[in-house]
A = this chain, B = another copy of it.
Amino acid sequence: MSTTPARAPRSDALANRGKILDSARKQFASEGTEVSMNEIARRAGVGVATLYRHFPQRDDLVAAIYAEELASLGGAVDEFLASMTPDDALTAWGARLLEYAITKRGLGAALLAMRERGDVRVDARGVLIDSMNKLLAAGREAGTIVDDVTGEDLMTAISGLWVLPVDEQYPDRARRLLALVFAGLRSV
């Protein structure tokens, strides 16, 4: 139907896009995804309109930045499932998840925000939930994981990871949370 020819984007537009992503990535990491849009634009050295032109919604920016991280988290599942028992894969994946939660500050807030809007474009949550479902299915088949828990359920259960304050106590608290939830999963 509407076969828009669509010229290639101008080089300066591409450069600006990059500058914005760099600026946002830094600030998301250091101060969370709630930083002011104006500030992101200012530090990127572009006008605020340029920011909005490239990323009409704040979530577009968030999604663009975290999409690959989350995809890699999803990919790790296949990797783990291919090389260990389902139960070990679950443990290993939990460790990887923890690592991400600690390193990529703001990722949690982003995930929470994504739930609100029915964000179809880059369904990062969906990617994660799919991963979880794979882990759960494998564990179920092996008989090491209870029958009636879904990926959605697991995603909800680990919400604490995104809600806990990220300070020096975070790693320990997060580990304890995963231990408790995984214990529930394994209570066959």
List residues of chain A with CB under 8 Å of any chain B CB.
Answer: 112, 115-116, 146, 149, 152-154, 156-157, 159-160, 162-165, 173, 176-177, 180-187
Of A116, A146, A163, most buried by chain B (CB within 10 Å of CB) is A163
Q: Is the CB of A157 within 8 A of B156?
A: no
Q: Which single member of B149, B163, B185, B187 contacts A159 (CB below 8 Å)?
A: B163
- New contact pairs (12) apart from A156-B164, A183-B184, CB-CB < 8 Å: A112-B163, A116-B165, A149-B176, A152-B173, A153-B177, A154-B180, A157-B157, A157-B160, A159-B159, A159-B163, A180-B184, A182-B184
Residues of B within 8 A of A154 (CB): 180
Please tell me how many copies of the chain the complex holds: 2
User: Please, which residues of chain B bring their CB within 8 A of the CB of A162?
Assistant: 163
Please tell me if the beta carbons of A177 and B164 are within 8 angstroms of each other in the complex: no
Residues of chain B within 8 A of A185, CB atoms compared: 180, 184
Q: Are A156 and B173 in contact (CB under 8 A)?
A: yes
| A52 shortest CB reach to chain B, Å | 23
Contacts of A183 in B (CB 8 A): 146, 183-184, 187
In the bound complex, CA of A156 to CA of B176 (Å): 9
Query: Could you pull out 8 A-B pairs where Cβ atoms are within 8 angstroms?
Result: A115-B163, A115-B165, A153-B180, A154-B180, A156-B164, A157-B160, A159-B159, A159-B164
